[in-house]
Structure 1
């Protein structure tokens, strides 16, 4: 039954991506390369809608089978749908940043209502309950997650590959620590992303678009908060698994703020974008991030989840090379125009 469900999600996502690609080509919904782009060929956008439909359609089935609790189902469905609709509308015509941000916070509040807010945080040998401050920080966290995922969706296959690594890594960790129920949600998201990745793997034949990237960001954020409510250490594990995106996006944003730049304007100054230009390959950078996830971040996330290393210590050690890479590739610095 479960295998059949996952196969259906994968095929649905694959087929919907194919359909959206043809729709985008017919309506000229294209990403046209410009000076802020990391691609050089006009490419259809909006394929992430397939991930949204594939995953959200699986949630009632998981709920009906008793494999996902009601609160997580409603948190993911309501928030994910709102963010996806906003992103889809923005893909078709610009929506002012203030209205997008308002919608993002509304989605975050909806999710936190169903999740019961932020669970106590594991801190060394104890836990810390931040109360209402924690709930407010959790809302900011969800909004930042969906926006940083949008920022990091800039080269072929990267956002899809990161979601796959985070979801499959968390599924492995859940199994090893005996948390079986949340496994099904992350696996369902994995196969939905997998169907889309068949079309988005370098060289991409369609881009995810804001509907898909924002949806993935808030979905991963909700899944991480749900995990924290089951075992406080798992929030640290999720933060480690998502480290490649968290560090690059946060470092770049802070650096641009310090430079006095308008952070809401499009740019291509993330570390991964500098790296893709330096190595002249999207595939090389995407595969490098996958390797970093599998061979560095996943082991640290696992030892934290197993209680072998305190969460804060594990996070700090896991992030050290990521911070070095952000500095090495000059994330957030203004790009120097090339002289013809």
Structure 2
């Protein structure tokens, strides 16, 4: 077996290699998309105005799934965690890739999403006991059901939130780097490597997707990121309960905007499976007239607001639920300010 210490010592050299591989592969996928007319053409529900190739997220999928088994072979990542990530991630990416090439009915996509979530939960052991205001609660089988719905929601909300240039990539990179920083400071170094690998894969893609985007992620990439980030949070919680709250805080921009928008549309009686552009970030980008200010705004919120709170929970002992409430209240106010879930004609 390859020496695990040697791999961790030289992983910082692997990191730029993964970024470069993702960068080159994304460029190749852009050529493929142009040749095969895999183009997002703007319509009344689009947030972009220029026809743009899609499917670049496949580069993230390939780079992550290519290197993760190496980490498992060395013992840096456990095989149970790796198999949960590989199986669920690959399955969701394939479903997204097929949907990118030809529409799959919503009910079949949803069924496939639950299959992926159940696979992941089988390998990682389901939902670990949760700490709420200092009380540790073991939800048993109910918790595993909740965890399945959580993973399905995470992958779908990531799809919903991947609507303007760079936003999904920035969210993934900042969440992964933030979690790695907390793991490193908090003494959970063994958890660092998989999120760091994902961040490297996303950075290469982001070079092509940052505003103005030259290729979009597509459902294969967005769904993959959503379920992988969700699995990361559940895996971490089995090591230390507070780490689940850390991930929920770090991903707060996406969770709050998508959930607030969904609830508002449900209350209005909308068909929530239909495409729309009523998320807060979409209203904000139309108000700004371009995507860059909104994407940079998300970056700033993640680094200057959510990361310090997550550090408080993960390292300095702040209660997780309290930290979540502190983190989410301003995000909810922003969602209200930018009319999340309202009909577009109200703008």
Aligned to 2:107: 98
Deviations 1:23-48 (A, max 9, x none): 00001110000110000000000000
Q: How does 1:157-176 map to 2 (within 5 A)?
A: 157-176=166-185
Q: Does 1:135 align with 2:144?
A: yes
Report the counterpart of residue 290 of structure 1 in structure 2.
299
Q: Within the alignment, does 1:118 sit opposite 2:127 as a pair?
A: yes
Structure 2 match to 1:156: 165
2:74 is the alignment partner of 1:65:
yes
Q: Is the 8 A contact 1:233 1:307 kept in 2?
A: no
When residues 210 and 61 of structure 1 are mapped into structure 2, their CA distance, relative to the original with a 3 A threshold, is same
Could you tell me the TM-score, scaled by structure 2's length?
0.96
C-alpha distance 236-60 of structure 1, shift in aligned 2 (>3 A): same
SS at match of 1:321: helix
Please name the residue that 1:194 is paired with: 203
Answering whether residue 231 of structure 2 is matched by residue 214 of structure 1, we say no
Say whether the 8 Å CA contact 1:9–1:192 is kept in structure 2.
yes
Structure 1 residue 11, shift from structure 2 partner = 1.4
Alignment partners' CA distance in 1, 2:29 and 2:182: 34
- Of 255, 262, 269, 1:246 maps to 255
C-alpha root-mean-square deviation of aligned residues, in Å? 1.0
Aligned residue pair count: 338
Establish whether residue 324 from structure 1 lines up as the match of residue 333 from structure 2.
yes
Q: Residue by residue, what CA displacement relative to the aligned partner does 1:178-233 show, whole Å, maximum 9, x if unpaired? A: 00111000100000000000000000000000000000000000001000000000
Q: Secondary structure at the match of 1:127?
A: strand
**Deviation per CA, 1:238-261, whole angstroms, max 9, x where unpaired?**
100000000000000000111111
Q: 1:54 and 2:42 equivalent?
A: no
Secondary structure at the counterpart of residue 190 of structure 2: coil
Moved over 3 A (4+): none
Alignment pair present for 1:233 and 2:242: yes
Q: What's the CA shift for 1:337?
A: 7.9
Structure 1 length normalisation: TM-score? 0.98
1:112-142 alpha-carbon deviations (Å, 9 max, x no partner): 0000010000122231100000000000000
